[in-house]
Amino acid sequence: MRNCLGAHNSISSQRRLILPLQVGLSPIVIHGAGPQLNKRLEDAGVEPNFVEGIRVTDSKTLEVAREIFYNENIRLVEALEKAGTRARPIIGTAAGRYQDKIPTAY
C-alpha cells in the first residue's frame, strides 16, 4: 500500500480509492506489507532469506507474515471507513503455494 498509494492514512490514497466508487466502480485493493514484515523479522532476530528477489518463507516467517498482513489489512479498511468510504476486509489464508522451484526471469 505504501509503495503504490502512499501511507494508509494519506488523503491522496483515500481519494484514489474514493473516486472509482463515485463513478460506480468497486475497486479491490491488493496490499502488501513487506517493509513491516522485514522490520518485525529484524526485531525478532529472524534473518529474511531471498533467492533472486523472491522471499523464501520458513515456518517462523510465515507465522509473522500472517499476523502482519492481517493487521495491515484491518488498518487499511479502518482508514478507508474513517474517510467515509465503504470498505470490507477479505481475511483468510490463501491455499495457493509457490510451486516453481526453478528461478525464473519473471
pLDDT of residue 5: 47
What is residue 62's predicted lDDT score, i.e. its pLDDT? 84
Residues listed for the chain? 106
How far apart, in Å, are the Cα atoms of 78 and each of 18, 25, 28, 52, 81?
A: 14, 20, 15, 35, 5
Number of CB atoms found within 10 A of residue 50's CB:
8
Put simply, whether the predicted model's pTM sits higher than 0.85 gets the answer no
Higher-confidence position of 68 and 102: 68
pLDDT digits (tens, 9 = 90+) for 31-79: 788 889 989 999 988 888 888 888 888 888 888 888 898 898 888 888 8
Mean pLDDT of 80-94: 76
Whether the Cβ atoms of residue 72 and residue 5 lie closer than 8 Å to each other: no
User: What pLDDT is recorded for position 10?
Assistant: 58
Domain boundaries of the chain, sorted by first residue? 11-82
pLDDT of residue 40: 92
| Residue-level pLDDT at 1 | 35
d(CA 88, CA 94): 17
pLDDT digits (tens, 9 = 90+) for 5-28: 445 445 666 677 777 878 888 888
